[in-house]
Structure 1
Amino acid sequence: MKIDILDFLGISDQICPMHVVIDAEGKILAAGPTLKKLRPETEWVGSSFFDIFDLSRPRWVQSTADLIKTAGSKLHLNFREAPQTGLKGVLAPLPSGQGAFINMSFGISVLEAVRDYDLTSADFSPTDLTIEMLYLVEAKSAAMEASRQLNLRLQGAKIAAEEQAFTDTLTGLKNRRAMDHILNRLIASGRDFALMHVDLDFFKEVNDTLGHAAGDTVLQHVAKLMVQCTRQNDTVARVGGDEFVLIFEGLVDRIQLSGIARRLISSIEEPIPFGDRSCNISASAGTALSSAFAAVEDGALLLHQADVALYAAKNAGRARHFFYQPGMEGAEAS
């Protein structure tokens, strides 16, 4: 019994929207609606199958007769014209040698096809799992993006929290906790460094006469001066009310350190404006060197030495800078 191809077109369009029907000569008799959407300018009916498609596998196929012999095997093909979307297909011969029915799908190129041709669920068979796969891919992509954004926010929050934990909120300098961390790291590394303890002179008078707002202004101003007087890799920390510690990594030259202290003290002595008033303070400093007398294994010892030198400078008249020397403890006590 001869099959009338037209009897099957309506059903085929619904359940196999990416099919072609060819006759025994390879001429296309019908094409599914999705294929027509992919190539809307193509005259499908009457065109040769091999003029539209390039069959890459099986490689031995050279003619329509060879193509029909592939019945039941997977076909690998793509459009000859750009975009050369990759397709998969399977052929079923029609009875009595009338030709063949070839059903196609996108295979792993479905994502590119949906993007290139703006396909929707209506372009696929209702039983095609492609739509479910696309939903899963989209859901996975959305979940991965949400996870990435969450990780970025968490990382940012962690960095911000760590930064806040190591930062003096008033001046923006490192705080005591940060100084301890950096000091321990330097001692563990064995690198030479200098630690300068700076204390503001007459700061209490500013607070008592002009108020704490003036005191905060002074501290913020002094913090900027200290940053300007130090290198980018140096550490400037506020460790108390009007106490600061400067750590100079890799710098133990006394002449250079004395110059830094001198410039810093001189700049701090400049009047600091506060409204229509001026705040007048000075600073005293004491410096201890990590390798001046013996290898330092305890940051607290170095801090103590710098503190002793600082108070020796204060006792000598303030606005001065001293290096720690053995025996200073006795002079401080006297």
Structure 2
Amino acid sequence: MNAVSESWACAALVGLDGPALGRLMPMHLYLCPEGRVRHAGPTVERLAGGNLCGRPFAEVVTLRRPRAAADMAGLLALAGLPLKLTLAAEPVLSLKGLVVALPDGEGALLNLSMGISLLDAVGKFDLTLHDFAPTDLAAELLYLTEAKSAVTGELRRLAQRLNGARVSAEEKAATDILTGLGNRRRLEATLKQFLGQGRPFALMHMDLDYFKQINDTHGHAVGDVVLCEVAERLTDECRVQDVVTRVGGDEFVILAVDIVDPLRLEKIAQRLISRLENPIQVEGIDCRISASIGLSVFTRHSAPDPARLMREADMALYESKGAGRARVTVYIPPEPPAGGDPG
């Protein structure tokens, strides 16, 4: 009897055609009296890796409990008992089974199902509800798993959106709306970060000179354009690792990372002033400004006090303003009194 006629013999035996039997029991093996597969359900063939017709059942499945069976007599001796077995092609996939002898010595019907291995099989073979009989409890579990996966995915996407919104809100809260630079909140957070790392840096407090005259003469709209141009020029002159912030109307603070040499800092500040003194054209108006700068320095040997650093930079800035503007002053700590405690 060839494979096709054997398949129809299976159908005639149970009164169903092959597709109907496969739909009813997607994981069945119909065995002939010699123990070879006459017909197999579509799901078990998918798991086993191809057409199983004509193969001995012992090459397809391996019985684990209650005991192994290598031939048809051994298998039929287990009829009606709950079986634990695996597929030869997937030995790590645990299956349950039940074998029933067919009348008139026509062979046996071995029906398989999944237990705790269901989720592993679903993930590995991309199984869906169509791979199981509608009455199989696996279908219910698969439905719940798919529903859980959908809910989990949606919750994950919602969490990502909320986190993105939080990050965006924090970014906006630390950004100056007009210039796009960091604001005082960004400055304070970065100061805290650098001090916590013990990273040397210079704090450069800048106040624009003659900016009030532009606002008073040409209006705040022109003044806003000038501030935006100042922000762009400062960003161009600074390195990527430096932090440029706007902390007030015409006040800017720059954190110059890993630069603590006073002479080098003065040259950098003078270069910034020279760049800002280049005229800014706004609607045909030639706007001219300059800047006064005060500098304080933090080294690994300094006490990590952000308020003190800002105060020192303010004092140096005040000195630059008082000396005629368009100047740079580096704060120099006073010498301790003779014989006094240097700390």
Using structure 2 for the length normalisation, give the TM-score. Answer: 0.77
Q: Counterpart amino acid of 2:318?
A: Y
- The answer to whether 1:263 aligns with 2:267 is no
Contact 2:200–2:260, Cα closer than 8 Å, also in 1: yes
User: Any residues of structure 2 matched to 1:64-213 within 5 Å, and which?
Assistant: 64-71=72-79, 72-78=81-87, 88-94=96-102, 97-107=105-115, 108=117, 112=121, 120-121=129-130, 124-213=132-221
Contact 1:192–1:249, Cα closer than 8 Å, also in 2: yes
Contact 2:45–2:52, Cα closer than 8 Å, also in 1: no
Residue equivalent to 1:317: 324
Could you tell me which of 18, 33, 44 is aligned with 1:24? Answer: 33
Q: Counterpart amino acid of 1:288?
A: S
**By how many angstroms is 1:326 displaced?**
6.2
Query: SS of 2:14's equivalent?
Result: helix
Which moved further from structure 2: 196-205 or 246-255? 246-255
Query: SS of 1:248's equivalent?
Result: strand
Give unpaired runs (5+ residues) of structure 1.
328-334
Distance, in Å, in 2 between the alignment partners of 1:115 and 1:153 is 30
Residue equivalent to 1:8: 14
Could you tell me which of 308, 311, 314 is aligned with 1:304? Answer: 311
**By how many angstroms is 1:285 displaced?**
0.8
Give unpaired runs (5+ residues) of structure 2.
1-8, 335-343
Contact 1:85–1:113, Cα closer than 8 Å, also in 2: no
User: Any residues of structure 2 matched to 1:237-248 within 5 Å, and which?
Assistant: 237-248=245-256
User: Any residues of structure 2 matched to 1:34-49 within 5 Å, and which?
Assistant: 42=51, 44=53, 47-49=54-56
Going from structure 1 to structure 2, the CA distance change for 1:119 and 1:161 (only over 3 Å counts) comes to: closer
**By how many angstroms is 1:24 displaced?**
2.7
Distance, in Å, in 1 between the alignment partners of 2:181 and 2:76 is 80
**By how many angstroms is 1:99 displaced?**
2.8
**By how many angstroms is 1:303 displaced?**
2.1
**By how many angstroms is 1:218 displaced?**
1.1
**By how many angstroms is 1:65 displaced?**
2.1
**By how many angstroms is 1:291 displaced?**
6.1
Contact 1:24–1:65, Cα closer than 8 Å, also in 2: no
Query: SS of 2:281's equivalent?
Result: strand
Give the paired residue count: 318
Any idea what the Cα deviations from partners look like across 1:85-127, whole Å, max 9, x if unmatched?
Answer: 9864321234675532211235525775698587544x53332
Q: Percent identity?
A: 41
Using structure 1 for the length normalisation, give the TM-score. Answer: 0.79
**By how many angstroms is 1:254 displaced?**
0.7
Residue equivalent to 1:330: none
Query: SS of 1:174's equivalent?
Result: coil
Contact 1:195–1:287, Cα closer than 8 Å, also in 2: yes
Contact 2:242–2:255, Cα closer than 8 Å, also in 1: yes
Distance, in Å, in 1 between the alignment partners of 2:123 and 2:206 is 68
Could you tell me which of 276, 282, 288 is aligned with 1:274? Answer: 282
**By how many angstroms is 1:256 displaced?**
1.1
**By how many angstroms is 1:200 displaced?**
0.6
Going from structure 1 to structure 2, the CA distance change for 1:191 and 1:34 (only over 3 Å counts) comes to: closer
Q: Counterpart amino acid of 1:249?
A: V
**By how many angstroms is 1:201 displaced?**
0.8
Query: SS of 1:157's equivalent?
Result: helix
Any idea what the Cα deviations from partners look like across 1:156-199, whole Å, max 9, x if unmatched?
Answer: 11211111121111112121122223334444555543221111
Distance, in Å, in 1 between the alignment partners of 2:200 and 2:45 is 77
Distance, in Å, in 2 between the alignment partners of 1:110 and 1:249 is 53
Query: SS of 1:270's equivalent?
Result: coil
Distance, in Å, in 2 between the alignment partners of 1:15 and 1:56 is 23
Q: Counterpart amino acid of 1:279?
A: C
Distance, in Å, in 1 between the alignment partners of 2:251 and 2:123 is 66
Any idea what the Cα deviations from partners look like across 1:297-320, whole Å, max 9, x if unmatched?
Answer: 543333232222223222322211
